[in-house]
Structure 1
Amino acid sequence: MRLTTRSLPPALLALAVAAATGCAPQESSPSATASAATASCTPAALSTEAAGKLTVGTDKPAYAPWFQDDDPASGKGFESAVAYSVAKALGYRADQVVWRTVPFNNSFAPGEKDFDFDINQVSISDGRKRAVDFSSGYYDVRQAVVALKKSPYAKARSAADLKGAKLGAQVGTTSLDTIDEIIGPKQRPAVFQKNDFAKSALGNGQVDAIVVDLPTAFYITSAEVPEAEVVGQFARSAGTAEQFGLVLDKDSPLTSCVTRAVDGLRADGTLAALEKKWLADAVDAPVLK
């Protein structure tokens, strides 16, 4: 004879209800889920290049204003400060961060990486995403044109005004894409392995102007080629804002944690504060139409 709960004495009925409740599947609370996610993004849980260390890549020389005095480990300069802020968000002390020299183009080329993430003004693009992972963006970018003050192209006010110029940019960069896709010059642009070579070419008259990101443009004209000036900047296209992102190995187990760290730094105002501190000079330039 099978007993139903209705036929059970009150004491046994209470026990039966308690047992049923204890066996019922329980949904995770948001706080429990967040705690589990946080726990998986700690040095003890992360599978990094070196156990207990966070290996960060960047190119050499490490240019200002992104780094100071060609020393990524100083914590000075916008990208150095961002790297250490991400490390701190992941639970790493400054002395647990290891820097590795990685040429710009190698950072997002196909193949296994020897860094946990790379920070080197690498713009997020669909093409690059086929070979590597990116964090969410840590800096919104605009491209700018730099010319010598005595050059007729220093008076340019539009992309059309630059079509006759001999332009230059670093290989593999969105600066070079800007020349090809937005300016469309009559002459083939000069392509340089590093921005140092582009700056030298500008100074000695091999090119009429170069294209770089806006903060770099202001630094070049204030500290490296003072006889040059920022001609202007290009506005972002609607819906396609260019952003720098941290580069990770394709399908890296660290991608979600690094992205969460970057998102947290944006949400709590850290990225804005670092931008104000290190990139404050790059705030205004005419917009080239």
Structure 2
Amino acid sequence: MKHLVKRCVAAVCAAACTVALAACGSDDEAGKIRIGIKFDQPGLGFKKSGTYVGFDVDVARYIARDLGYSDDQIVWKEAPSKQREAMLQNGDVDMILATYSITAERKNAVDFAGPYFVAGQDLMVRKGDTSIRGPEDLNGKRLCSVTGSTSAKTVKDRFANEVQLMEQPGYAECATALFSGIVDAVTTDDIILAGLAAASRGKLEVVGKPFTEEYYGVGIKKGSTDLARKIDKAINQMVADGSWERAIKDNTKGTGYTPNAKVNPPKATEGVGHDRVATGKED
């Protein structure tokens, strides 16, 4: 009988999690907000000695504080590219900030707030390699990107007859493949590549010819209209008070990376039902 009661309680909690922000989870997560980020992207979402750093992390912290959560009420969870939709749909996290591009296809499964940044897909090569200076040089080359990313999808859609694509679970694995000569280039968003290049200590470099626009959004569960509006408000406030610009500068220092000023900082409008359909992908 006790086991039956426990199962019923668990079922009720699981159901409640689908409609309430951070309502359920482990005892350690009670009253906290669960945010999905990348753990392996220097400059964006990076787990370092038990702490979490990067631009996505800074934006997430700002949003959480605006929603009424202190830093110690944030539970950080790793959100690999191919698992993001499932994590939101299953109620494993309350929101995801993980270089998560807003696309029409993804909107069928989840909702978004934002955007909070606009990146562009680019290429990273070994330092001094002049054989790839842009997408026009990809014929016959071997590329690496991450499974479940729209960077990989873009390669399949646009360059399928020209390149060999290796897909890995993370960009650390792609960088290793590039170091060792297994692939000729790594492709994803320029701001991600800038962080990876900086972490390589001069061994890798970004080509610097982005060929898409990627609107990074905050992924939330389908139907979370009120939450989307609150997140949009926080993002726009972060831009207005200068925190957004400081976060960009702090997290790209020394990389030589400069955001495209024509589209950055973007206006967060997804939460008010703006009809713009992003054209890009993501990491």
Count of residue pairs the alignment pairs up: 232
Q: Is the 8 A contact 1:73 1:80 kept in 2?
A: no
2:37 is aligned, of 58, 69, 73, to 58
Q: Equivalent residue for 2:175?
A: 199
Q: Which amino acid aligns with 1:249?
A: K
Whole-Å Cα distance in 2 between the matches of residues 125 and 101 of structure 1?
21
Q: Deviations over 1:71-129 (max 9, x none)?
A: 6854x321111111111111211121122233332112473221111111111111011
Structure (1 or 2) with the larger CA radius of gyration: 1
Residues of 1 paired with 2:233 and 2:20: CA distance?
A: 16
Partner AA of 1:257 in structure 2: K
- Alpha-carbon distance between aligned partners in 2 of 1:143 and 1:282, rounded to the nearest angstrom: 16
Helix, strand or coil at the partner of 1:243: strand
Instruction: Answer whether contact 1:56 1:119 (CA < 8 A) is retained.
Output: yes
Aligned Cα root-mean-square deviation (Å): 2.6
> Which one of 17, 35, 60 corresponds to residue 83 of structure 1?
60
Q: Distance in 2 between matches of 1:223 and 1:268?
A: 30
Q: What is aligned with 1:23?
A: none
The answer for the alignment partner of 2:125 in structure 1 is 147
One-letter amino acid matched to 1:283:
Y
Match of 1:157 in 2: 133
**For 1:125 and 1:72, how far apart are their aligned partners in 2?**
32
Distance 1:124 1:158 in 2: 24
Instruction: Find the counterpart in structure 2 of residue 15 from structure 1.
Output: none
Q: CA deviation at 1:225?
A: 6.3
- After the TM superposition, which residues 108-127 of structure 1 pair with which residues of structure 2 at under 5 Å, given as runs? 108-109=85-86, 111-127=89-105
1:91, 1:72 → 2: CA distance?
24
Q: Which residue of 2 aligns with 1:174?
A: 150
> Are residue 283 (structure 1) and residue 257 (structure 2) matched?
yes
- Work out the CA distance in 2 between the residues paired with 1:185 and 1:202: 21
Of 188, 199, 221, the match for 2:197: 221
TM-score, structure 1 as length reference: 0.71
Q: Which residue of 2 aligns with 1:138?
A: 116
Query: How far is 1:149 from its partner?
Result: 2.9
Percent identity between the aligned chains? 27
**1:30-74 residue CA offsets vs partner (Å, 9 max, x unmatched):** xxxxxxxxxxxxxxxx94213532111224x33211135536854
Quote how far apart the aligned CAs of 1:159 are.
1.8
Q: Distance in 1 between matches of 2:74 and 2:210?
A: 35
Structure 2: unaligned runs, 5 residues or longer: 1-18, 24-29, 260-283
Could you say what secondary structure the match of 1:233 adopts? coil
Matching residue of 2:80? 103
- Choose 205-214 or 173-182, whichever is displaced more: 173-182
State the distance in 2 between where 1:279 and 1:77 align. Answer: 9
Residue of structure 2 in register with 1:245 after alignment? 217
1:57/1:99 contact within 8 Å kept: yes
Aligned AA (1:56): I
Distance apart, 1:145 and its partner CA: 0.6
For normalisation by structure 2, the TM-score amounts to 0.73
**1:254 corresponds to which of 227, 231, 251:** 227
Contact 1:143 / 1:211 at 8 angstroms: preserved in 2? yes
Point out where structure 1 has 5 or more consecutive residues left out of the alignment: 1-45
Distance 1:69 1:99, change over 3 A: closer
**In structure 1, what is the equivalent of residue 69 of structure 2?**
92
Instruction: Give 2:107's aligned amino acid.
Output: K
More relative contact order in 1 or in 2 (CA 8 Å, sep 6+)? 2
Q: 1:208 to 1:62 in 2, by over 3 A?
A: closer
